[in-house]
Amino acid sequence: MRFNREILRSGTAALAISAALGAAPAAAGEHMPNGKFDALDRNQDGVLSLDEIKVQHDYVRAFDAADANRDGKLDRGEFTKAEAIHDRIVAGKYVDDSVLTARVKAALLQEPDLKSLDVSVETQDGVVLLSGFVHDESQRYKAFKAASMVSGVASVKNAMVVR
């Protein structure tokens, strides 16, 4: 038992030393490598301008929120914050789409004379895609109308097939 405690203590000490050495470059003022930051920093000035970051899809809002000193540029720390903000924005869109999908499915279930389980619903960026099979054109129209009436739906693409 005593031997195991000594191993545990020495392992913990080694872990603490490794962590301290790993943090040393950041503490000494050097920057930690970030491949994405370096790739985006086309002019290699150590900061990212809005023009440099525009190649990232939907990044302007994250850029503005992360630019703490409002100089129109992101340093490495601000870029890390922008990455986290951007990830939350993307995740929020996914959650919003999932909520819309659930609301559209619920609306379809409320439609009389519609076999809503035969209709698939997918949502991306507020655009709803209805696919699957319905028995006639009136059911196709009912499903389309029900989906269109759901709050938050930007548009509906109708790919349902009458069989």
List the pLDDT tens digit at each of the 163 positions of the chain. Answer: 444 444 444 444 444 444 444 444 444 445 567 888 999 999 999 999 999 988 887 788 899 999 999 999 999 999 999 999 888 887 777 778 999 999 999 999 999 888 878 899 999 988 999 999 999 999 999 999 999 999 888 899 999 999 8
For the full predicted model, state whether its pTM sits above 0.85.
no
The residues, ordered by sequence, that sit 6+ positions from 73 with a Cβ below 8 Å of its Cβ are: 47, 48, 49, 67
Q: What is the DSSP string of 30-81?
A: PPPP-HHHHHH-TT-SSSEEHHHHTTSTT-HHHHHHH-TT-SSEE-HHHHHH
